[in-house]
Chain A
Amino acid sequence: MTVQDPRTGSATRTYVERVRGVLGDLSHRDVDDALADLEANVLAEAAARGGTPAAEAAVLEALGTPEEYATALREALAAGAGAPLPQGRVLGMPFEFRQPTANSITERIWNPADPRIWMPRSFGVGWTINFGALAVKLGIIRPDDTEERPFEHVPSSALRLAAAFPLLLGALAIAIVAIWWRELPAMVPVHWGVNGAPDGWATREVALGALIAVAALLPAVLFGRLALKGAERRSIAITSVVLSLSSWLAAGLCGYTVVTALTGFAAWWVPLMIVLTAIAMPFVMLVVLSRASLKAEWRDALGDTAGRTPKEGTHR
C-alpha cells in the first residue's frame, strides 16, 4: 500500500481553479460537476504514473493549458445540450426534480432546433410547451433562427423591459387589493364552478395574500437573487418570461377575485381568458426577446458598419 505523496494535489487544484475562472458564464452545476471529475481523474492518473509531483506535472501538461481545457469543456458541454432528457418517468409521464437552471428551462421552453412541441418539464411531472418549436410550426421563425446559446445578446433595454413586467404586475396586484381592502368582505371566492359561479371561499387574508405572494413577492425575491449573483443576460431573460406568466396569472386572479367579491359579477370566460393570455404571454415574450437578441448578435457580427437588419419571415 503506497501512501499518496503529500506534495501532490496543489498543482491540480490551481489548474482546476484556473479552468473554473474561464467558465464563469456556464451553469455552475455543470462546471462544478465536470471539474470535480477532472480533479479526481488527474489525481488518480498522477498516482498511477508514480504519484510524485513530477508525475502530476506531466499529467497536467498532457491536458493542455487551463484555457485550452476550458475551451474543450465548453464545447463538450454545449454539444451535450442538444436533446433534453427527463430525469425519469412515472406512469409514462416524465419527471424532473433537479434544480432548474436558466439552461435547463431554456432548452425546454425555447428550443427552436428541437421539433417537439411537448417537452418534459424542467421541474415537476409532465410536459411543457416548447414555444420555439411552436414558433417554427407557425412560420414565425426558422429552426436555425437562434443563437448557439439563446438570449445571450438581448439588449439591456429589452432586458429591463422584460424584467419590469412581472414587477409591475406585482405592484398592480398590491394596488388593487390595497384600494379595495376596506370594502372587501371577510370571505372572498377562491374557486369557481363550470358555470362561472363561485363555489369555494377563503378568508381575504389567505386568498389575496397568497396571490400577492406569487404576483409580487416571487419576482422580487428571484430578481434579488439574480442581481446578487450578477447573473448573465440569458438567466435574467428566461426568469423574466417565467415570472411574467406567474405574475400575470396571480394579478389577473387577484383582480377577478376583488371584482367578484365586490360586485357579484362572475363569468366562466374571465378565468379562461386570464389563463389563455397567460399562456400566450411567454410565447410573445420569447419571440420578441430572441429576435432582439439575434439582431444584436448580427449587429455585433457586422461590426456596426452596415447597420442592416436582415429581413425575417420572408423566407417562403
Chain B
Amino acid sequence: MGGGSGTRESQFRKGALELAILALLERGELYGVEIVDRLASVPGLAASSGTVYPLLSRLKNSELVLTAWRESPSGPPRKYYRLSAAGRDDLMTMSSSWRSMVKALDGLLEEESR
C-alpha cells in the first residue's frame, strides 16, 4: 500500500480527497479515524490513513481546518478537526469549480468517445 506518489492519478486523487474531507467536516467536527472510516464508506473515495493523515496536516497547515483536543469516553484523548472560516470559503469555491469542471469534462469526454 502507499507509494505511487507523484503520479498524475495520485495528485488528482489527493485534490479530490481534500475536497471530500472539507465536505465531511462541513457537517460537524470529526476525529482522525472517523474521517478515514467515512471516506471508506463512499465507494471510490476509500484511502489509507497513510494518505488521509498527511492531507489533514496539510489542511491544518494552510489553516483551512482547526483542531481541538477532546476527552474520549474510552481510550486516549482525541484530536478533532473542524472547518475554519477560510475552510468554509474554500469549500464553497472548490465545490463550485469542481462541479463546473466535471460538467465540462463529461461533455468533452462524451464527445470524444462518440
Interface residues of A (CB under 8 A from B): 1-2, 4, 30, 33-34, 37-38, 40-49, 51, 59, 62-65, 68-69, 71-73, 75-77, 79-80, 82, 85
By the criterion CB–CB under 8 Å, are A76 and B58 in contact? Answer: yes
| In the complex with contacts A59-B49, A68-B3, A75-B5, A47-B75 CB distance below 8 A | yes
Given contacts A69-B2, A69-B54, 10 further A-B contacts (CB under 8 A): A2-B74, A37-B60, A40-B77, A41-B32, A41-B56, A42-B49, A64-B2, A76-B54, A76-B61, A77-B61
Chain B residue at minimal CB-CB distance from A79: B58
By the criterion CB–CB under 8 Å, are B57 and A44 in contact? Answer: no
| In the complex with contacts A63-B53, A73-B57, A40-B74 CB distance below 8 A | no
Interface of A: prevailing SS: helix
Q: Is B86 an interface residue (CB 8 A)?
A: yes
Find chain A residues with CB under 8 A from B78 CB: 40, 44
- Give A101 Cβ to nearest chain B Cβ, in Å: 12
Chain A residue at minimal CB-CB distance from B75: A47
Find chain B residues with CB under 8 A from A42 CB: 32, 49
Q: From B14, B56, B73, give the contact of A37 (CB < 8 A).
A: B56
Interface size on B, residues (CB 8 A): 36
By the criterion CB–CB under 8 Å, are A1 and B36 in contact? Answer: no
B56-68 to A contact mask, C-beta < 8 Å, 1/0: 1111111100010
By the criterion CB–CB under 8 Å, are B50 and A85 in contact? Answer: no
By the criterion CB–CB under 8 Å, are A77 and B57 in contact? Answer: yes
Q: Is B79 an interface residue (CB 8 A)?
A: yes
Q: Is B55 an interface residue (CB 8 A)?
A: yes
- Complex Cα spacing A71 to B33, Å: 21
- Complex Cα spacing A85 to B61, Å: 10
- Complex Cα spacing A261 to B82, Å: 60
Find chain A residues with CB under 8 A from B72 CB: 44, 47
Q: Is B48 an interface residue (CB 8 A)?
A: yes
- Complex Cα spacing A19 to B90, Å: 30
By the criterion CB–CB under 8 Å, are B61 and A80 in contact? Answer: yes
By the criterion CB–CB under 8 Å, are B57 and A37 in contact? Answer: yes
By the criterion CB–CB under 8 Å, are A73 and B3 in contact? Answer: no
Find chain B residues with CB under 8 A from A68 CB: 2-3, 50
- Complex Cα spacing A82 to B86, Å: 15
By the criterion CB–CB under 8 Å, are B33 and A45 in contact? Answer: yes
